[in-house]
Amino acid sequence: MTKHSELKDFLDAAVQRYNRPEFIETDPISIPAAFDRLEDREIMGFWTATLAWGQRKTIMQSARRLVELMDGAPYDFIINHEEQDRARFLDFKHRTFQATDTLYFLEFFQNFYRGNDSLEMAFSRHLSPETPTVEPALAGFHRDFFDHPWAPERTRKHVATPERGSTCKRINMFLRWMVRRDNAGVDFGVWTRIKPAQLLIPLDVHVDRVARRIGLLRRKQTDWNAVLELTENLRAFDPADPVKYDFALFGLGVLEGK
């Protein structure tokens, strides 16, 4: 057995351990997973992913608070609320995500959903089936998200773009949730205009550490080029679904402490 096949077997086994419904309970994906309506999953998936830094318990608490503020029905609230209804969000904050950012997210979502059926269009419109990765979708989404006369400059740090060299970990994680489809019951697989093969790895400190330890990432900086390098190496194990190995690398890094 070659070293490549041994590593593939090792990672595939880790995917099997962590890509299962039990994973959801303690992971931020549990917030959008609580909804059946596509738009609710999109809104809370994107917002939860945006807040996903720090302790997972705190991330989930903040996301649940947003659901409460939207009366338990995110899409209905987004579509129908009036400006005075936004006052209830003035005290919401999660680390450096403050009221200004919250109000702008509400503005973006309301403007977008009053003219579009699914948030998928905000990403897929920048791709073709032949586009190798979602890189142009992330860059295009960022430009569109802030295409508003009073888009706050401070909010830009909460919505990453590869054009600034960011790993875009949180948006890549959100896309994994929405695009990947298998029979495991974790990722939703509800978007069809983006292919799982185009996804890029959500690179955080845990994934980064494990990937370097097992020789899948050699670039010194943890940046956008590191995301491309790691995903390309994972594509050698599964060209159609390289990001499934996020379960393996994250699980090994966080849950097993390797």
* Tens-digit pLDDT profile for residues 194-214: 999 999 999 999 999 999 999
Angle between helices 169-179 and 38-50 (to 10 degrees): 160
The mean predicted confidence, pLDDT, of the chain is: 95
The half-sphere exposure of 7 on its side-chain side, counting CA atoms within 13 A, is: 17
Per-position DSSP letters for 44-75, written without gaps between them: HHHHHHHT-SS-HHHHHHHHHHHHHHTTT-HH
Looking at the predicted structure, is the pLDDT value of residue 235 above 60? yes
Nearest to 74 by CA among 28, 103, 49, 110: 110
Contacting residues for 49 by C-beta, under 8 A, at least 6 apart = 28, 170, 171, 173, 174, 177
The residue segments making up the domain with residue 14 are 3-255
- Written as six digits, the tokens of 182 are 């298998």
Nearest to 11 by CA among 177, 181, 246, 241: 246
Nearest to 194 by CA among 251, 141, 115: 141
Q: Look at residue 81 in the predicted model and tell me its pLDDT.
A: 97
Beta bridge partners of 94: 97
The model's pLDDT over 48-77, given as tens digits with 9 standing for 90+, comes to: 999 998 889 999 999 999 999 999 999 999
pTM tops 0.85: yes
Number of domains in the chain: 1
The span from the CA of 207 to the CA of 209, in Å, is 5
